[in-house]
Amino acid sequence: MQRVSWLLDEIHRLKEERHAIILAHNYQPDEIQDIADITGDSLELSRAAATMEGDVIVFCGVDFMAETAAIISPEKTVLLPAPDAGCPMAEMISADELKFAKSRHPDAAVVCYVNTTAEVKAVSDICCTSSNAVKVVNSLKEDQVIFVPDRNLALYTQRFTKKEILPWEGFCRVHDRITADHVRRARDLHPGAIVLVHPECRPEVIDLADHVASTSGIIRLVCELPDEEFIIGTEIGILHRLKKECPTKNCYPLSSGAICTNMKKTDLTKVRQALIDLQPRITVPEEIANRARRAIERMLAV
Ligand code: 13P
Ligand code: SF4
């Protein structure tokens, strides 16, 4: 306990000294969410990285998120305290594979989920996140869209557009493991509870849900809806923010096994060390960053 309070004081002191801001994703460990200046979903954190003042961004999340911050704020030092925190879904497509898909569908626009490498963003027309995928797709003039890499988000988006979406076969292991049986069992256990799921879930899970939203969208719904009980179909780190922001509501995980191990690699010791060393620093080669920035900025303008 004493060590934790010493670590917290140290992080606070170093943060001031470095003019640093700490951004944390909604899936981060509780103690990391508690020290963050902003906790949010991918879109909110991208916007914060683009607009917040400071010389250093400590990105508590996974690598594609820190890379996105480094691309849109090249003048800031972007740190990823847990350098091995990756997103396996982002590794399910390479720039060469995407270029090949583009050559097969030359008239299609390419929408890449923000959960991709900078190289993939650099060969895409526009980025999207789970909170704006439908809006992004419907903003395009093309009638056909190559949507990478999340198949489930692509299929979810297809429900709200007349355009033809060509989904890539990627998926998130955490969300794709949630089944329709999980929903049925949770409803049996908590009759009357509202089921909220992330669009990275399978179509049959989405069919059984009451609402589908990004991580911050789920938090907003729990706070705003008049209901008292909710079943939450996404990574369980989100329950901490739900407890803090909607303390009167009862939230149950749809699957208590929905844990993103990469999101849990950040800890207070690593955050302190990153602020001391200004490492591990995330940088993106300028030529790739310039092309990837176009896709991200185009999304931020939608
Ligand atoms: P959000 O943008 O909804 O926070 O989702 C990010 C993510 O990685 C979900 O698995
Ligand atoms: Fe990637 Fe899934 Fe973890 Fe999100 S929850 S960072 S999509 S592995």
Helix, strand, coil content of the chain in percent (nearest 5): 50, 15, 35
Per-residue pLDDT at 224: 97
SS3 (DSSP) at 51: helix
Pairing verdict, β 144-148 and 109-113:
parallel
Instruction: Encode 1-25 in three state secondary structure.
Output: CHHHHHHHHHHHHHHHHHCEEEEEE
Q: How far apart are CA 16 and CA 54, in angstroms?
A: 10
Q: What is the CA radius of gyration of the chain?
A: 19
Per-residue pLDDT at 264: 98
Pocket test for ligand 1, best of 112, 156, 214 (most atoms within 8 A of CB): 214
Taking residues 199-226, report their average pLDDT: 98
Q: How far apart are CA 95 and CA 179, in angstroms?
A: 31
β-pair partners for 111: 126, 147
Per-residue pLDDT at 90: 98
Residue pair 114/46 in contact by the 8 Å Cβ criterion: yes
- Taking CA atoms only, the protein residue closest to ligand 2 atom 1 is 87
Residue pair 200/175 in contact by the 8 Å Cβ criterion: yes
Edge-first strand order for the sheet with 194-197 is: 211-212, 194-197, 229-233, 250-253
Residue pair 123/290 in contact by the 8 Å Cβ criterion: no
Crossing angle of the two packed helices 286-301 and 63-72, in degrees rounded to 10: 90
- Taking CA atoms only, the protein residue closest to ligand 1 atom 7 is 42
Pocket test for ligand 2, best of 43, 260, 265 (most atoms within 8 A of CB): 260
Per-residue pLDDT at 3: 84
Taking residues 256-283, report their average pLDDT: 98
Q: Is the dihedral of CA 57, 62, 67, 73 positive or negative?
A: negative
Residue 280 CA neighbour count, 13 Å, CB half: 15
Residue 56 belongs to what H/E stretch?
A: strand 56-60
Q: Which two tokens stand for residue 180?
A: 């329709």
For 44-87, write each residue's pLDDT tens digit. 999 999 999 999 999 999 999 999 999 999 999 999 999 999 99
pTM exceeds cut of 0.75: yes
Q: How far is the CA of 202 from the centre of ligand 2 (A)?
A: 14
β-pair partners for 110: 146
Q: Which two tokens stand for residue 5?
A: 């309070």
Q: How far is the CA of 171 from the centre of ligand 2 (A)?
A: 9
The ligand 2 atom at the shortest distance from the C-alpha of residue 262 is: 3
Pocket test for ligand 1, best of 26, 62, 130, 236 (most atoms within 8 A of CB): 130
Q: Is 172 in the pocket of ligand 1 (CB under 6 A)?
A: yes
Residue 1 above 90 pLDDT?
no
Residue 125 above 90 pLDDT?
yes
Residue 99 above 90 pLDDT?
yes
Q: Is 90 in the pocket of ligand 1 (CB under 6 A)?
A: no
Model confidence at 2, pLDDT cuts 50, 70, 90, reads confident
